[in-house]
A and B are shown apart, each in its own frame.
Chain A
Amino acid sequence: MKPNVLVLRAAGSNCDQEAQFAFQYAGANAELIHVNRLLEGDTKLEKFQILVIPGGFTYGDDISAGKVLANQLKYKLADQLLAFHAADKLILGICNGFQVLVKAGLLPEMDLNASQTVTLTNNASGKFEDRWVHLRVNESPCVFTRGVKSLVYFPVAHAEGKFVVRNEQVMEKLLQNRQIVFQYAGADGDKPAYPQNPNGSMRDVAGICDPSGRILGLMPHPERHIDPTHHPQWTRIGLAEEGDGVALFSNAVSYFR
Chain B
Amino acid sequence: MITRIELAEKEDFYDAEGHAVHSGARDLGIQGIGTVQAFRVYYLLGELSDAEKEHIAAMLLADRVTQDYAIDAPVARPDSDRAWTVEITFNRGVTDMVAETTLKGIRDLGIPGVTAAKTARRYAFYGRLNDADKDLIVQKLLMNKVVEHVLTPGEKLFFPGADPVFTLVHVPLTGAEDAELLRISRERDLFLNLEEMRAIQNHFRGLKREPTDVELEMLAQTWSEHCSHKTLTGLVEYEGVLIDNPLKQTIFRVTRELDKPWCVSVFKDNAGIIEFDDDDNICFKVETHNHPSAMEPYGGANTGIGGVIRDPLGTGLGAKPIINTDVFCFGPVDLPMEKLPKGVLHPKRVMQGVVAGVRDYGNRMGIPTSNGALFFDERYLGNPLVYCGNVGIMPKDKCEKQVLPGDHILVVGGRTGRDGIHGATASSGELHSESEGTWSGAVQIGNPIVEKKLVDTLLQARDLGLYRAITDCGAGGLSSAIGELASSTGAEVDLEKVPLKYHGLTYMEIWISEAQERMVLFVPPEKLQAALAVFAGEDVEATVIGRTTSDHKMRLRYQGTVVGELDMAFLHDGLPRIVRQARWEAPQIVTTAYALPSDLGSVLRQILAAPNVCSKEWVIRQYDHEVQAGSALKPLVGCANDGPGDACITRPRLDSHRAIILSNGLNPKYGLIDPYWMAASAIDEALRNLIAVGGNLQRTALLDNFCWGNADKPDRLGGLMRAARACYDMAKVFETPFISGKDSLNNEYKTESGESIAIPPTLLISAISVMADCRKAVSMDFKRAGDVLYAVGMTRNELGGSHYLEVVGQSSDAVPRVDAAEAKKTFIALSQAMERGLVRACHDCSEGGLAVTLAEMAFAGGLGAEVKLQALPRSADVVRIDHALFSESNSRFVVEITAENEKAFCDSLRDIPLGRIGQVSGKSRLTICGFHGEVVIDEEIEELKNAWQKTLRW
> Once the chains bind, are B16 and A236 in contact (CB under 8 Å)?
no
The distance in angstroms between the C-alpha atoms of A17 and B459, with both chains bound, is 14
Interface size on A, residues (CB 8 A): 62
Q: Known interface pairs A121-B66, A223-B629. Does A229 touch B366 (Cβ–Cβ under 8 Å)?
A: no
> Once the chains bind, are B59 and A60 in contact (CB under 8 Å)?
no
Question: Which residue of B is nearest A74, CB measured?
Answer: B59
Q: Residue-by-residue, is B148-159 near A (CB-CB < 8 Å gives 1, otherwise 0)?
A: 000000000000
- Binding-face segment, A82-90, A112-120, A138-146, A173-181: A112-120
Question: Which residues on the B side are within 8 Å of A12 (C-beta)?
Answer: 364, 448-449, 452-453
Q: Which of B577-633 contact A (CB under 8 A)?
A: 620-629, 631-633
Is B492 on the interface with A (CB-CB < 8 A)?
A: no
Q: Is the interface of A mostly helix, strand, loop or mixed?
A: mixed
Is A57 on the interface with B (CB-CB < 8 A)?
A: yes
Q: Known interface pairs A126-B19, A130-B626, A157-B626. Does A232 touch B634 (Cβ–Cβ under 8 Å)?
A: yes
> Once the chains bind, are B654 and A18 in contact (CB under 8 Å)?
yes
Q: Known interface pairs A121-B63, A165-B65, A229-B632. Does A68 touch B366 (Cβ–Cβ under 8 Å)?
A: no
The distance in angstroms between the C-alpha atoms of A13 and B455, with both chains bound, is 12
Which of A230, A235, A236 is packed against the most chain B CB atoms within 10 Å?
A: A235
Question: Which residues on the A side are within 8 Å of B628 (C-beta)?
Answer: 14-15, 17-18
Question: Which residues on the B side are within 8 Å of A103 (C-beta)?
Answer: 63
Is A136 on the interface with B (CB-CB < 8 A)?
A: no
Question: Which residues on the A side are within 8 Å of B63 (C-beta)?
Answer: 64, 67, 103, 116, 119, 121
Is B914 on the interface with A (CB-CB < 8 A)?
A: no
The distance in angstroms between the C-alpha atoms of A221 and B637, with both chains bound, is 19
> Once the chains bind, are B108 and A72 in contact (CB under 8 Å)?
yes
Is A166 on the interface with B (CB-CB < 8 A)?
A: yes
> Once the chains bind, are A121 and B13 in contact (CB under 8 Å)?
yes
> Once the chains bind, are A21 and B629 in contact (CB under 8 Å)?
yes
- Contact partner of A235 (CB less than 8 A), chosen from B104, B538, B631, B778, is B778
A25 CB, min distance to chain B CBs, angstroms? 8
Interface residues on B, range: 35 or more
Question: Which residues on the A side are within 8 Å of B637 (C-beta)?
Answer: 232-233, 235
B689 CB, min distance to chain A CBs, angstroms? 16
Is B97 on the interface with A (CB-CB < 8 A)?
A: yes
> Once the chains bind, are A124 and B639 in contact (CB under 8 Å)?
no
Q: Known interface pairs A121-B63, A229-B775, A236-B779. Does A67 touch B105 (Cβ–Cβ under 8 Å)?
A: yes
Q: Known interface pairs A129-B621, A232-B637. Does A59 touch B101 (Cβ–Cβ under 8 Å)?
A: yes
Which of B60, B65, B102, B109 is packed against the most chain A CB atoms within 10 Å?
A: B65
Which of A55, A61, A127, A200 is packed against the most chain B CB atoms within 10 Å?
A: A127
Question: Which residues on the A side are within 8 Å of B109 (C-beta)?
Answer: 71, 75
Q: Which of A40-93 contact B (CB under 8 A)?
A: 55-57, 59-64, 67-68, 71-72, 75-76
Q: Which of A7-24 contact B (CB under 8 A)?
A: 9, 11-15, 17-18, 21
> Once the chains bind, are A235 and B359 in contact (CB under 8 Å)?
no
B272 CB, min distance to chain A CBs, angstroms? 25
Interface residues of B (CB under 8 A from A): 13-14, 16-17, 19-20, 59-61, 63-66, 97-98, 100-102, 104-105, 108-110, 359, 363-366, 447-449, 452-453, 456, 537-539, 620-629, 631-634, 636-639, 641, 651, 654-655, 657, 774-775, 777-779, 781, 783, 861
Is A109 on the interface with B (CB-CB < 8 A)?
A: no
Question: Which residues on the B side are within 8 Å of A127 (C-beta)?
Answer: 622
> Once the chains bind, are A235 and B779 in contact (CB under 8 Å)?
yes
Is A132 on the interface with B (CB-CB < 8 A)?
A: yes
> Once the chains bind, are A130 and B102 in contact (CB under 8 Å)?
no
> Once the chains bind, are A128 and B61 in contact (CB under 8 Å)?
no
> Once the chains bind, are A236 and B449 in contact (CB under 8 Å)?
no
- Contact partner of A118 (CB less than 8 A), chosen from B19, B65, B365, is B65
Question: Which residues on the B side are within 8 Å of A224 (C-beta)?
Answer: 626, 629, 631
Is A203 on the interface with B (CB-CB < 8 A)?
A: no
> Once the chains bind, are B657 and A164 in contact (CB under 8 Å)?
no
B111 CB, min distance to chain A CBs, angstroms? 11
Rank and list the top 7 A-B pairs by shortest CB-CB distance, nearest first: A14-B366, A62-B101, A18-B629, A119-B65, A235-B779, A126-B16, A62-B98
Is A212 on the interface with B (CB-CB < 8 A)?
A: no
Question: Which residues on the A side are within 8 Å of B14 (C-beta)?
Answer: 122, 124, 200
Is A193 on the interface with B (CB-CB < 8 A)?
A: no
> Once the chains bind, are B363 and A128 in contact (CB under 8 Å)?
yes
